[in-house]
Structure 1
Amino acid sequence: MTEGNFVDYVKIYVTSGNGGKGSSHLHREKYVPKGGPDGGDGGRGGHIIIRGDKNLWTLFHFKFKKHFRAGHGEHGSKNRSTGADGEDVYMDVPLGTVVKDTDSGEVLFEITEHGEEKIVVKGGKGGLGNWHFKTATNQTPRYAQSGLEGEEKNITLEMKVLADVGLVGFPNAGKSTLLSVVTAAKPKIADYEFTTLKPNLGIVQHRDFQTFVMADIPGIIEGAAEGKGLGHYFLRHIERNSTLLFLIPADSKDIKKEYDILLDELRRYNPEMLDKDRFIAISKSDMLDEELKAEMREEFGKAFDGVPYMFISSVAQQGIQELKDRLWEMLNRDEEG
């Protein structure tokens, strides 16, 4: 999936259908000159329904279609015939899509299961036909209800990536390189900050044809929780990952400080993020000799508060299989336990 095709945020205008009018028809046939009211009800207007689809990974199909309008209900007719309901419109979205009211900012609902359906705007109710209004004192009512108008709404679809492992790190920490090595994903890789502006998803092939999904989340910068840079836009994707893989380059000036800043950004954005499993990978470790690694291990024991870590090098392919093994164990620990 190319970066340009990964659309995870769209604004859309939706309108449900109007309800049909009730009929004010009076029954007429040969030998029955005054048959009384027999006008049927109007059909309801069509709903706009949002439906989850596990086969979708992006909101790209909404990039060029921003208006959705459901069908109107048909009018009632004679013989108490109810008008047909307006045609419903289904909008298929990836799992993990949050639907918001654009104008108020209110979260309306979230789609998390395949086939799950939620009505975002209801069609207008059809009007009652005149036979409903017949009384002892009013035998031939010549009026019926008009149908109710449909609703209109500006909505925002916001996607949170559903992945097993989320890569967390500062810009240029080597996340895209790691993803390209452990999966078949082809992220854009360059030696400057913010190469990744959209999440990249990749399927990690593990042993015995087992797989898990890894997401390269765009780099966090200090102050991201306050929305600095593209902060909130990036951080929301990490909420859906069950395991967080912190990637810190070996040539960082202060590895402990970098880890603490990343952790603090997640804490300030959503404290529940710290409940997720964590693993730390020191990337670009091919530039370290064994003596330096031994010194760093002594320091890391206390620095990372017991969070497991290991040295890897995506370019030199060092520690990659072991990293996949460790992540697989973490992802399946709950199931086995």
Structure 2
Amino acid sequence: MTEGNFVDYIKIYASSGKGGQGSTHLHREKFIEKGGPDGGDGGRGGHIILRGDKNLWTLFHLKFKRHFRATQGGAGSKSRSTGADGEDVYIDVPLGTIIRDADTDEIIVEITEDKKEVILLEGGKGGLGNWHFRTATHQTPRFAQPGIDGQEGWFRIELKILADVGLVGFPNAGKSTLLSVVTAAKPKIADYAFTTLKPNLGIVEYRNHQTFVMADIPGIIEGAAEGKGLGHYFLRHIERNAVLLFLIPADSNDINTEYDILLNELKKYNPELLDKHRLLAISKSDLLDEELKTEIRETLPKGIETVFISSVAEIGLMELKDKLWKILHL
């Protein structure tokens, strides 16, 4: 999937179908000139239904189709026959999708399960046929109910990536390189800031054919929580990760300061992110000898487990996987 095909925000218009008209038919057959009412009910209008699909990773398929309209229910007919229901319209979305009312910003539903179906807009009910309105004093009613109108509205669909591990770090910290080495993902990699402009996902193969999902999130800068740089466009993806893997390069001027800045940006965006399990990886550690590693260990942030790794030299990667797997299964 190329970066241009990754879409994590879209606005759509949807309208469910109107219910069908009830029938005013009066029963007629040979030798029965004045049969009673036998008009059937109208069918319901079509629903607008959201459906989770684990095979989707983006909202790109909705980019060029933003209007969804379900069909009207069929009219009732004689012999108390109910009209056909309107055809439902399904909108398939990736797991981790949030749907908001575009006017109120209220969250309507979150889709986190494969094949889960949620009715976004119910179709209008069909009108009752005249058979329902017969009484002892009014035996041939010549009226029926019209169908009830469907619902409509504008909605915002947002994707928050579902991944077990989210990579957190400044631009050019080595996140994309790590993802490319431990998974089959092929993110864009270059030696300049903001190479990654969209989240990338990869499946990490672990021992005994077990796996977990890792997400490379575009790098954080100071002020990201206020929308600087890529701002909220990537911070919301971190919310769904079970473990946050902080990645800081060994040649950083001050590892403690970088870690504090990263932590502070997450806190400003959503304090609940600090409740997630965290692990610190010192990348590019092939630049260090044992003496330098010992010196750095004495200055590392307190209260967080640390591992030294090198994606290029493939140093410490199995130890990293072991630690992540252990945290994921606490």
Distance in 2 of aligned mates of 1:39 and 1:265: 65
The CA deviation string for residues 92-143 of structure 1, in whole angstroms up to 9 with x for no partner, is 2121111111222111010111221111111011111112222233222211
SS in structure 2 of the partner of residue 4 of structure 1 = helix
C-alpha distance in 2, partners of 1:48/1:134?
Answer: 34
- C-alpha separation in 2, matches of 1:230 and 1:101: 24
Residue 310 of structure 1 aligns to which amino acid in structure 2? V
Q: Which residue of 2 aligns with 1:98?
A: 98
Structure 1 counterpart of 2:70: 70
* Structure-to-structure mapping, 1:82-231, within 5 angstroms: 82-231=82-231
- The TM-score normalised by the length of structure 2 is 0.96
Counterpart for residue 312 of structure 2: 315
Aligned length: 330
Distance 1:144 1:89 in 2: 28
Q: Distance in 2 between matches of 1:226 and 1:39?
A: 62
3-state DSSP class of the match of 2:99? strand
Distance 1:306 1:104 in 2: 41
1:61 aligned residue: 61
Partners of 1:143 and 1:284 in 2: CA distance: 80
List runs of 5+ in structure 2 lacking aligned partners.
Answer: none
Q: Is the 8 A contact 2:307 2:319 kept in 1?
A: no
Q: Kindly provide the amino acid, as one letter, of the partner of residue 303 in structure 2.
A: G
Q: Which residue of 2 aligns with 1:276?
A: 276
Distance apart, 1:305 and its partner CA? 2.1
1:180 partner amino acid: S
Query: Which residues of 2 match residues 222-241 of structure 1 at below 5 A?
Result: 222-241=222-241
Matched residues in 2 for 1:141 and 1:208: separation?
Answer: 73
1:328 maps to 2:325? yes
Q: How does 1:220-299 map to 2 (within 5 A)?
A: 220-299=220-299
2:23 is aligned to 23
How far has the Cα of 1:227 moved from its partner? 2.3
1:32-71 pair list within 5 angstroms: 32-71=32-71
Percentage identity across aligned positions?
A: 74
1:324, 1:131 → 2: CA distance? 69
CA drift of 1:208 comes to 2.4
CA drift at 1:248: 0.7
Q: Please provide the CA RMSD for this pair.
A: 1.4
Deviation, structure 1 residue 62: 1.4
Aligned partners of 1:11 and 1:247: how far apart in 2?
34
Residue identity matched to 2:46: G
Please report the TM-score for the alignment, with normalisation by the length of structure 1. 0.94
The residue identity in structure 2 corresponding to 1:52 is G
Q: Which runs of 5+ in 1 are unaligned?
A: none
1:306 paired residue number? 303
Partner-residue secondary structure (3-state), 2:90: strand
